[in-house]
Structure 1
Amino acid sequence: MKKIIIIITASLFLCSCKKEVKDKNQKLNVVTTTSMITDLVKNIGGDAIEVKGLMGSGVDPHLYKASEGDVSKLVNADIIFYNGLHLEGKLVEVFEKMESQDIKTIAIGESLKKNTLIGSDYFASNYDPHIWFSVDNWKIITSFVIKTLQEIDPKNAEIFKTNGEVYLSKLTELERKLEAKIETLPKEKRILVTAHDAFSYFGKAYDFNVVGLQGLSTATEAGVQDVQKLANFIIEKQVKAIFVESSVPKRTIEALQAAVKSKNHEVAIGGTLFSDALGNTGTKEGTYIGMFEYNVNTIINALK
């Protein structure tokens, strides 16, 4: 990490003159971290801005480290949007360096009121950073991103406003679909067991008991006692299915399934959920809205 910061510092110094004489007609150069944020900013900015995402499909932001290939994207950015709340823990030092060199960095998590966040002892921020699993949160963040882009690129303010309003209406429609689907599952069956605890905001919004094998961060390894304890919980609650995550190795959930089987009980793997990253670009799951619909359909169909 120190090597990357040194490279970034040197690159910032060398690029400072070039940034001062940037063509006024050139598109706003936006860099984003997670694929959820990339999708959001593209929906609002449309063709009026240039968006470069650092993390693609299946990338775990908890463990992500800036590569030397990311340096040119970061130092040439007009604005950087990231999640914050220490989700991108290994990039915090890099973002601090960006700020000291007068590159605008925006933590979207800071747009949310603290009393709406879920507490966590596992992150330096003391809050669960998986804020995108509340559509209400995502609406607030959408409005925040619209306003931020308008302030930094006022000539395209109307484009951001129009695109943002369209996207907000789509989020409202998403909420309607999710609620209708979830209502088909009895409340006593709403127990969601996943590889790590990324779905607490989802659980709070839709009355699910969410249990993650690895806790909030994938940097935390699950021990034998954790597996055995959760296996007993699954048997006691007669949980029908447990879930793999696209950005987390499936061996942890397979170990949990095996532990349940060793106690003469069966639990199915209900499918793969997208937690810390979207699906492949060009697929339905490669968008925030498509990902959320896919997850809910997968969960409900497996637990019914």
Structure 2
Amino acid sequence: MPKSSTLPWPAAVGLGLSSLLLTGCVSSVSSASDDERPVVLTTFTVLADIAQNVAGHHLVVESITKAGAEIHGYEPTPGDIRRAAGADLMLDNGLNLELWFSQFVETVDVPHVVVSDGVEPIDIAADAYSGKPNPHAWMSPANVQIYVGNMVDAFSELDPEHADDFATNGAAYQQELQAIQDELVAELETLPDKERALVTCEGAFSYLARDAGLTEVYIWPVNAEQQATPQQIAAVIEYVDENRVPAVFCESTVSDKPMQQVVDATDADFGGMLYVDSLSEADGPVPTYLDLIRYDTDTIIAALTGR
């Protein structure tokens, strides 16, 4: 989640952009090759992978941020501006995830599509962000089917000649997403009501918890600007203890030390690390979005059911 409601535009970016525009050196990310396919630029790696599955070989799909990068407070560079200015379409998640992106879009004259359009948002329930939409909608396989539909429409407008292929690719990918959701729901339906809880460090799993019929519990609602407070940890300890929650989790991009305090104070096991904001490198555990969502659902199922 964003760490502030406004993010300063780095001076280096402004200077770099001015220089690029004055010298006329802005060019496509693919200008070094003879590739004439349209270029689609996404804000982060998860969207890039989903988009690639829809695009097939008809479009060049790339991410502004790299694998493992923090998306919420990212600061664009002059190199990012060069890439964007040469793109034919940009995709962002929306739901206040990329607060830096509004400034980014104003800088270059490239159309963009918000892929979460049509998703029913779940509001953040606590702290300074209370009432604002939780941006992690891609953690729901059902929501990503909406993302895919928006991408099919956008790509078909961008490259009408291959619209049928985009539709076919999108439908096949949506079937895979539905299969993962069906497995998640089926595997967890036998859990006792009190144990049907997904306890994590950050409140990034609202949509997945909803899909699986789980109560979402977290130490902090958004990326913590400082260490978790004793009151936050105590509240989670009380919930886990009273409801005999069998396992708790933490996200791969934050320290699990606060959650380990919950483990030490209760009978719950540490169920493992979960991935949210970024894919891994190709040789890592979650190189694709389907790998990410399967990894997380398998980890949650194994820890909560003991299987």
TM-score range normalised by the length of the shorter chain: 0.7 to 0.9
d(CA) in 2 for partners of 1:18, 1:232? 56
**RMSD between superposed Cα atoms in Å:** 2.8
Where do 5+ consecutive residues of structure 1 fail to align?
A: none
Change (3 A) 1:182 1:5: farther
Moved more, 199-208 or 59-68: 59-68
Tell me which residue corresponds to 2:45. 35
Q: What is the DSSP-based 3-state SS (H/G/I as helix, E as strand, rest coil) of the residue aligned with 2:156?
A: helix
**Deviations, residues 64-112 of structure 1 (Å, cap 9, x unaligned):** 22234423222221111111111122333223333xxx21122212x21
From 48, 51, 54, the counterpart of 1:44: 54
Change (3 A) 1:10 1:159: farther
Question: Normalising to structure 1: TM-score of the pair?
Answer: 0.84
Give aligned pairs, total: 291
Question: Retained in 2: the 8 A contact 1:270–1:302?
Answer: yes
Question: Retained in 2: the 8 A contact 1:27–1:48?
Answer: yes
d(CA) in 1 for partners of 2:208, 2:56? 28
Match status 1:60 vs 2:64: no
Change (3 A) 1:147 1:275: same
Change (3 A) 1:173 1:300: closer
Kindly provide the amino acid, as one letter, of the partner of residue 120 in structure 1: I
Change (3 A) 1:233 1:26: same
Shift of 1:120: 2.9
Shift of 1:150: 0.7
Structure-to-structure mapping, 1:97-116, within 5 angstroms? 97-98=107-108, 102-109=109-116, 111-112=117-118, 116=120
Change (3 A) 1:18 1:301: closer
d(CA) in 2 for partners of 1:303, 1:106? 37
Tell me which residue corresponds to 2:154. 148
From 178, 183, 206, the counterpart of 2:212: 206
Kindly provide the amino acid, as one letter, of the partner of residue 202 in structure 1: L
Match status 1:135 vs 2:145: no
Q: What is the DSSP-based 3-state SS (H/G/I as helix, E as strand, rest coil) of the residue aligned with 1:51?
A: strand
Give the percent of matched residue pairs that are identical in Structure 1 and Structure 2.
Answer: 26
Shift of 1:299: 1.0
d(CA) in 1 for partners of 2:71, 2:27? 31
Tell me which residue corresponds to 1:117. 121
Spell out structure 1 runs of 4+ moving beyond 4 A.
Answer: 12-19, 22-25, 121-125, 218-221
**Deviations, residues 31-56 of structure 1 (Å, cap 9, x unaligned):** 11222211111001111111111233
d(CA) in 2 for partners of 1:78, 1:125? 34
Question: Retained in 1: the 8 A contact 2:185–2:211?
Answer: no
d(CA) in 2 for partners of 1:84, 1:10? 29
d(CA) in 2 for partners of 1:74, 1:238? 50
Structure-to-structure mapping, 1:282-293, within 5 angstroms? 285-293=286-294
Shift of 1:159: 2.3
From 77, 82, 99, the counterpart of 1:89: 99
d(CA) in 2 for partners of 1:295, 1:18? 38
Question: Retained in 2: the 8 A contact 1:52–1:73?
Answer: no
d(CA) in 2 for partners of 1:55, 1:252? 28
Change (3 A) 1:134 1:18: closer
Kindly provide the amino acid, as one letter, of the partner of residue 16 in structure 2: I
d(CA) in 1 for partners of 2:64, 2:171? 26
